[in-house]
Amino acid sequence: MKEYHAIVKSALLADDPATFVTRRVDSIRVELGGIPGDRHFGLLRPADSRQNIYPRGELIANRRQISIVSVEECERIAGNMGLGEVRPEWLGANLLVEGFPELTLLPQGSRLLFPDGTGLICEGENLPCLGPGRVIEGLFGPQTPGASFVSAAKKLRGIVCSVEREGIIRIGDGIRIICR
């Protein structure tokens, strides 16, 4: 078993139904369904193009309750795109962490444990898609085409998690990352 450490730099919430873009908050309360009020909250969600073994729209377990990106990987994406920065809210992230630069490569099944006992399970890589690219293009103009995000963020887009133990995650919290 390997153990790593990181720190929560930002907590974010996607509570505007018109967009996946998140906004910064002081803390997030997590329940077994995810973050109450967040667009990805729920124990179940409809199957989409990511789960093509199920009919589109069929209810399946929600393994995408929480999205996490790292400071280090956001900086690498920005560099790959020739930008000064890529913010976690543009990516729809719920947590921005620092101190674990290879977050996207974290193996499925790894646990992220927080000081109050909150526990998340890594469900795998959050594959780059066009949505964040469109947001970035909207901010920087056509000289930064949205499609360039997908290749710039390959293996850098962060992870998605489900909740194993409820609690509160705060800015500044240390994270124990446990891999088997």
Here the CATH number for the domain that contains residue 68 is 2.40.33.20
CA angle 9, 125, 72 (to 5 degrees): 35
The pTM score is 0.95
Q: Specify the number of domains making up the chain.
A: 1
CB burial of 11-34 (b: ≥16 within 10 Å; e: otherwise) equals bbbbeeeeebbbeebeebebeebb
Residue 53 structural domain: 2-179
CB half-sphere exposure, 94, CA atoms < 13 A:
29
Provide the residue-wise pLDDT of the chain in tens; the chain has 180 residues. Answer: 999 999 999 999 999 999 999 999 999 999 999 999 999 999 999 998 888 899 999 999 999 999 999 999 999 999 999 999 999 999 999 999 999 999 999 999 999 999 999 999 999 999 988 899 999 999 998 888 888 999 999 999 999 999 999 999 999 999 999 998
Q: What is the pLDDT of residue 179?
A: 96
d(CA 12, CA 153): 20
Q: What is the pLDDT of residue 52?
A: 85
Q: Assign 162 to helix, strand or coil.
A: strand
pLDDT in the model for residue 106: 97
Residue 156, pLDDT score: 98
* Three-class DSSP category at 18: coil
Question: At 80, phi and psi to the nearest 5?
Answer: -60, -30
